[in-house]
Amino acid sequence: MMTVRSLLFNVGFIVITIVWALLCVFVVPLPYRWRYGFISGWAIVNLWWLRITCGITHDVKGVENIPDRACVVLSKHQSTWETLFFVAYLPPMAYILKRELLFVPFFGWGLALTEPIAIDRRSGRKAVQSIIETGTRLLRLGRWIVVFPEGTRIAAGHKGRYGVGGAVLAERSGFPVLPVAHNGGELWPRRSFVKKTGVITVVFGELMETEGLSAEQVNRQSERWIESTMVQISRVPYPAAEQKN
- Condensed to tens digits (0 to 9), the pLDDT of residues 38-73 reads 999 999 999 999 999 999 999 999 999 999 999 999
pLDDT of residue 121: 67
Strands 117-119 and 93-98: parallel
* Dist. CA 3–CA 19, nearest whole Å: 24
Beta bridge partners of 202: 60, 182
pLDDT of residue 124: 65
pLDDT of residue 98: 80
pLDDT of residue 241: 39
Residue 135: name the closest of 126, 125, 145 by CA: 145
Q: Does the structure show a pLDDT above 70 at 244?
A: no
**Mean pLDDT, all residues of the chain:** 91
Nearest-10 Cα torsion for 41, 45, 50, 51: 110
* Dist. CA 209–CA 33, nearest whole Å: 27
Crossing angle (nearest 10°) for helices 125-140 and 165-173 = 50
Mean pLDDT over residues 219-227, rounded?
Answer: 96
Residue 19's pLDDT band (cuts 50, 70, 90): very high
Mean pLDDT over residues 103-129, rounded?
Answer: 79
pTM exceeds 0.85: yes
Q: Does the structure show a pLDDT above 60 at 245?
A: no
* 230 CA to centre of own chain: 16
- Are 197 and 55 within 8 A, CB to CB? yes
Question: Within 10 A of 183 (CB to CB), how many other CB atoms are there?
Answer: 26
Strands 177-182 and 198-204: antiparallel
Mean pLDDT over residues 178-194, rounded?
Answer: 94
- What are the angstrom distances between the C-alpha of 152 and each of 44, 46, 49, 190? 23, 22, 25, 10
Class of domain 2-243 (CATH, top level): alpha beta
Domain boundaries, the chain: 2-243
